[in-house]
A and B are shown apart, each in its own frame.
Chain A
Amino acid sequence: EDQVTQSPEALRLQEGESSSLNCSYTVSGLRGLFWYRQDPGKGPEFLFTLYSAGEEKEKERLKATLTKKESFLHITAPKPEDSATYLCAVRGPHNNNDMRFGAGTRLTVKP
């Protein structure tokens, strides 16, 4: 069965302190790894989709990378407004109609 594990569960950073969030997955025949941002009481906001090992995507202070076993979401010089829960999800050939989500990493950036 496809599994997605995110670490750490929670992360507290000082403003400007760069760090990375990890998403480890086990799925045969990956058909997409997705990163979303979720603010409290709101739906997930799409950030990135990665499809193959070695792929990288960037958006403002965020950069997502993908290997055959895991993905990293790098946050460079974070700001307090980057505080949110970051969700990782995978889509495989056996669940082509949906995504399997990890539990998320709750990021808090202190000013």
Chain B
Amino acid sequence: GAVVSQHPSWVICKSGTSVKIECRSLDFQATTMFWYRQFPKQSLMLMATSNEGSKATYEQGVEKDKFLINHASLTLSTLTVTSAHPEDSSFYICSARDRAGYPPEQYFGPGTRLTVT
């Protein structure tokens, strides 16, 4: 089946620093990738949608200058949390839509646990 990887799987950073999370579709091409955030015992909340080669679309309430998204190729999207603060600590999950499938299926990565101290 389709595989989506994320790196790193977990990261600890100090308040005020930036951290980059990578999301890759390993065996398919994804024109659209999604970034979600999940707090403990809560469901997934969409942060932004990124399309290859264009600017990401952010959900209401998500600061685009704080959460920088780059989708430079059909298999890679990155999320950079800039000037991280403890309240940014969360589980970040990316998802990729297989552009070759119809109807298009959406596959999720294993998630990245971010802890800001």
| CA of A84 to CA of B6, assembled, Å | 21
The B interface, classified by DSSP as helix, strand, loop or mixed, is strand
Closest chain A CB from B27 CB (angstroms): 14
| Docked-complex contact B110 and A42, CB < 8 angstroms | yes
The A interface, classified by DSSP as helix, strand, loop or mixed, is loop
Q: How many chain B residues touch A (Cβ–Cβ < 8 Å)?
A: 23
Q: How many chain A residues touch B (Cβ–Cβ < 8 Å)?
A: 19
Q: Give the A-B contact count at a CB cut-off of 8 A.
A: 45
Closest chain A CB from B112 CB (angstroms): 9
| CA of A34 to CA of B107, assembled, Å | 11
Q: Does A98 contact B (CB under 8 A)?
A: yes
Binding site for B on A (CB under 8 A): 32, 34, 36, 41-46, 49, 51, 87, 97-99, 101-104
11 contacts between A and B (CB under 8 A): A41-B91, A43-B93, A43-B110, A43-B111, A46-B106, A51-B103, A87-B44, A97-B34, A97-B49, A98-B49, A103-B42
